[in-house]
A = this chain, B = another copy of it.
């Protein structure tokens, strides 16, 4: 969660995003949150992460406005971490990571979890790059326009 100022200030949204969530544990914590995990001990059990490391990541992500900490939904004394709107905005990053992992990191026949539409059980579609009019784009058809001080 340390801001690497030289990169943060470049005017590149990719670099800035990575400055906030570009930590392996943070993205796994966020993945778990999308799977419905909300409590400290649940994150700990799911990830097998040391308490101190988990506490630091959750604190940082809360300070960044990605999680908010509130009372438990069941009225118990537990405190729960829930994704804010900003945190929920990370879903497509998780989906993009998943789809690339599915494409390139499994041997034929090797099992992995899948993301499905809950109502039908059918697989979620692939993310696609499209132009402003909805036409499909290949990455070679795009370019980054940098700002003057970037």
Interface residues of A (CB under 8 A from B): 4, 6-7, 11-20, 22-24, 27-28, 31, 34-35, 47-48, 65, 86, 88-106, 111-125, 127-132, 134, 137, 139, 141-150
Which of B88, B114, B142 meets A115, CB within 8 Å? B142
Give how many copies assemble into the complex.
2
Q: Which residues of B contact A65 (CB under 8 A)?
A: 104
Q: Is the CB of A113 within 8 A of B20?
A: no
Q: Which residues of B contact A104 (CB under 8 A)?
A: 65, 86, 89
Task: Say whether chain A's binding surface is mostly helix, strand, loop, or mixed.
Answer: mixed
A64 to B38, CA, bound (A): 34
Q: List 5 A-B contacts (CB under 8 A).
A: A12-B112, A14-B98, A20-B105, A112-B150, A120-B132
Q: Which residues of B contact A94 (CB under 8 A)?
A: 14
Q: Which residues of B contact A114 (CB under 8 A)?
A: 144-145
Q: Which residues of B contact A35 (CB under 8 A)?
A: 144
A28 to B14, CA, bound (A): 8
Which of B28, B113, B129, B143 meets A92, CB within 8 Å? B129
Q: Is the CB of A124 within 8 A of B117?
A: no
